[in-house]
Amino acid sequence: MHLDLSGRTALVTGSTQGIGEAIAVGLARAGARTAVNGRRPDAVEEAVARLREAVPGADVVAAPGDVSTAEGASALFDALPVVDVLVNNVGIFGSRPALDITDDEWRRYFEVNVLAAVRLTRTYLPGMRERGWGRVQYIASDSAVVIPAEMIHYGVSKTALLGVSRGFAKEAAGSGVTVNCVLAGPTHTGGVEDFVYELVDRSVPWEEAQREFMRLHRPQSLLGRLIEPEEIANLCVYLASPQASATTGAAVRVDGGYVDSIVP
């Protein structure tokens, strides 16, 4: 299958590392003009350099800004007014006993994990509809369905994205714009390595720590290992492509079989 996004502009929020960076690389390989976003301009420039090295000749744009604030989202739109593929990837996570999560922490998780995506969808969806083509994606998580006891604030924020995605898909109905949610499973990123070592003995080697984490804390996984970011990106690039024109309003799983369900 040849996925060609030539002539399209893609924005991936939180794309200076991890899943977001892998998605940006994948979209650039498919020919999209790709905007890399992050809060720190230096981190954005470093990620842009890595992307250009990974995809020689790629058309890459530095798009720094804190999209978890209205001001940051507005500034990003001023710098990048036309986006055809919007991947709402930015997010935060961390473990916390359920009864210790404060109001401020709940608000922060919703600002970053939910409202940032809502703002940018509200910003870019009208232009996509006018042009008659567009792709909006939300990077959710298996935690949206299987709420982790050690971080319910994270899980609930990802559950909210499922509703946000379905709602905006209805808003885009019949316009040529598709809106979907990607349910990513436990994925191997630097941040997840830190998270694993919060729950597993730090003195053991990474491969052993990963196996122990999956055995004790993610035993439902049929894959039996952490997913690599590129495996998430592969699905996102497909959903951004013309070939995915009939997939909208969906929650598509790339979770290693973690969610114990026979329906999507």
Q: Catalytic residues, which ones?
A: 154
What's the token pair of residue 82?
A: 């036309």
Separation of alpha carbons 96 and 239, rounded Å:
33
Residues 6+ apart with CB under 8 A from 167: none
Q: Which residues pair with 92 in a beta bridge?
A: none
Order of all β-strands in the sheet with 33-36: 60-62, 33-36, 9-12, 85-88, 134-141, 177-184, 251-254
Q: What DSSP string describes the chain? A: -----TT-EEEETT-SSHHHHHHHHHHHHTT-EEEE--S-HHHHHHHHHHHHHHSTT--EEE----TTSHHHHHHHHHH----SEEEE---------GGG--HHHHHHHHIIIIIHHHHHHHHHHHHHHHHT-EEEEEEEEGGGTS--TT-HHHHHHHHHHHHHHHHHHHHTTTTTEEEEEEEE-SB--HHHHHHHHHHS-TTS-HHHHHHHHHHHH-TT-SS-SPBPHHHHHHHHHHHHSGGGTT--S-EEEESTT-S--S--
